[in-house]
Structure 1
Amino acid sequence: MASALEELQKDLEEVLLEKSTRKRVRDALTTEKSKTETEIKNKMQQKSQKKQVDNEKPAAVVAPITTGYTVKISNYGWDQSNKFVKIYITLTGVHQVPNENVQVHFMDRSFDLLVNNLNGKNNSMIVNNLLKPISVEGSSRKVKTDTVLILCKKKAENVRWDYLTQVEKECKEKEKPSYDTEADPSEGLMNVLKKIYEDGDDDMKRTINKAWVESREKQAKGDPEF
């Protein structure tokens, strides 16, 4: 079936083919021709405007993927080689997320890891105050089965790190017993025993308590301590 525009065009062709020598007929044909041309022009404009509007319609908006809440990563392991400090983070299914979802940013003495949209949540880990400086350009990360491996390139190669961070080092050093040569030796020994007692299990505490009681009993009897 011909469209309305095609029908109008055919009508116009018939008007043009008409031949008349009488003024009234010629005027009527001219008027009809003008009306038909105007109608065709209007149809063409409507069609053009509709096409332009269709082209200007915005693309369908894709709703962003909901990534849920963010949790902090607290469990990890680390070791080192002559060139790298290696941090291992276990995240079940991390190898199945898009590569761009695993982001690590390195700085001279820190790094931060962000894993987006893993099982409906984000996973974040920030490590500041690394024990020694690292090379930002030489550091990288690898994604393995259920694991993210962070490779911090040592600026000073072949230098061993005793701790991962400066904070960890300071905490460990505070826990070490003091060996002040000017202090009372018995006080130092008591501090060591107290530390052992606090950190020990039930068997260790019973042993220390027993030794303490026996020592006090010997002192009461006048026997020398051993």
Structure 2
Amino acid sequence: MDLTEQISQLEADLQELGSLLEKAERKRVQELLKQEQKKVEKELGAKRQQKEQQARREADPSAASKATYTVKITSYAWDQSEKFVKIYLNLKGVQKIPAENVEVSFTERSFSVLVKDLDGKNHQMTILNLLNPIDEKDSYKKIKTDMVLIMCKKQTTKKWECLTTVEKRSKDKDKPAMNENADPSDGLMSMLKKIYDDGDDEMKRTINKAWSESQEKKIRGGGDMMDF
């Protein structure tokens, strides 16, 4: 399997991992998938670098002595307009390298950036699981002073509350579920059940004790029973 095919397979693996992560509900499963995502991203970055170096050697045998290494872009900012989601990457001196050294590829739910040979390094970033689909054909990049601006064209004008579904899931996890027509006691029981399921042995013993006391009280006619 040549490098091009290996890269293609790794990109497909990333897409599938992103799809699985979007569907995963258990925290442990999400963490395992994220770890695997990082491994594949690292391997993909290495393969892309290897392919680039191979191309340089073929084009110019002296290029081997100028080989660069790849670092991951971990810091960025974003905002949005009615039509675009904008991602800002601070890369000092990026305007001084050839524009073709800044490669950006888009899919409906992701984008990948590779900035080649900037200060002797390649800079790479992949964002998966975008909150909403984008129009990959109308998305593009802008190179500014010390910055690369990624313009992701929204398919709809809906306002994004965050950049990725993973971030949204994390935010939603901290929000209590609200149902105006629900019985307040049902919400309390749901909360207690979640605490019980997620709690350690000591927490479960405490809840079991409270349930037993509540049951005894119910039998004596003094109150409602906590029904697990």
Superposition TM-score, scaled by structure 1 size = 0.52
1:95 and 1:108 map into 2 onto residues whose CA distance is: 28
Please report how far the alpha carbon of residue 63 of structure 1 lies from its aligned counterpart in structure 2 after TM superposition: 2.8
**What residue is the counterpart of 1:133 in the other structure?**
133
2:97 and 2:150 map into 1 onto residues whose CA distance is: 17
Please report how far the alpha carbon of residue 61 of structure 1 lies from its aligned counterpart in structure 2 after TM superposition: 4.8
1:65–1:89 Cα change, 3 Å = farther
Q: Secondary structure at the match of 1:173?
A: helix
Q: Which has the higher helix share?
A: 2
**What residue is the counterpart of 1:18 in the other structure?**
none
- The one-letter amino acid paired with 2:174 is E
- The one-letter amino acid paired with 1:160 is K
Q: Deviations over 1:56-84 (max 9, x none)?
A: xxx98553573421111111111101110
1:162 and 1:141 map into 2 onto residues whose CA distance is: 22
- The one-letter amino acid paired with 2:70 is T
Q: Secondary structure at the match of 1:106?
A: strand
Q: Secondary structure at the match of 2:126?
A: strand
**What residue is the counterpart of 2:146 in the other structure?**
146
- The one-letter amino acid paired with 1:155 is Q
Please report how far the alpha carbon of residue 172 of structure 1 lies from its aligned counterpart in structure 2 after TM superposition: 1.1
Q: Secondary structure at the match of 1:171?
A: helix
Identity of aligned residues (%): 49
**What residue is the counterpart of 2:162 in the other structure?**
163
1:70 and 1:95 map into 2 onto residues whose CA distance is: 19
Aligned CA RMSD, in angstroms, stands at 2.5
**What residue is the counterpart of 1:217 in the other structure?**
none
- The one-letter amino acid paired with 2:126 is I
2:62 and 2:128 map into 1 onto residues whose CA distance is: 37
- The one-letter amino acid paired with 1:96 is K
2:126 and 2:69 map into 1 onto residues whose CA distance is: 16
1:176 and 1:150 map into 2 onto residues whose CA distance is: 31
**What residue is the counterpart of 1:176 in the other structure?**
175
**What residue is the counterpart of 2:215 in the other structure?**
none
Q: Deviations over 1:98-141 (max 9, x none)?
A: 11100000111100000001111110010011011111111000
1:111 and 1:65 map into 2 onto residues whose CA distance is: 31
1:176 and 1:86 map into 2 onto residues whose CA distance is: 27
**What residue is the counterpart of 2:110 in the other structure?**
110
Q: Secondary structure at the match of 1:134?
A: coil
2:77 and 2:125 map into 1 onto residues whose CA distance is: 13
**What residue is the counterpart of 1:54 in the other structure?**
none
| Deviates most, 112-121 or 168-177 | 168-177
The answer to whether structure 1 residue 99 and structure 2 residue 94 are counterparts is no
1:102 and 1:67 map into 2 onto residues whose CA distance is: 17
1:65–1:109 Cα change, 3 Å = farther
Unaligned runs of 5+ in 1: 1-58, 192-226
- Equivalent residues of 1:67, 1:116 under 8 A apart: no
- Aligned pair count? 129
1:133–1:176 Cα change, 3 Å = same
**What residue is the counterpart of 2:217 in the other structure?**
none
Matches within 5 A, 1:1-226: 61-63=61-63, 66-157=66-157, 159-177=158-176, 181-182=184-185, 183-184=187-188
Runs (4+) off by over 4 Å: 59-62, 177-180
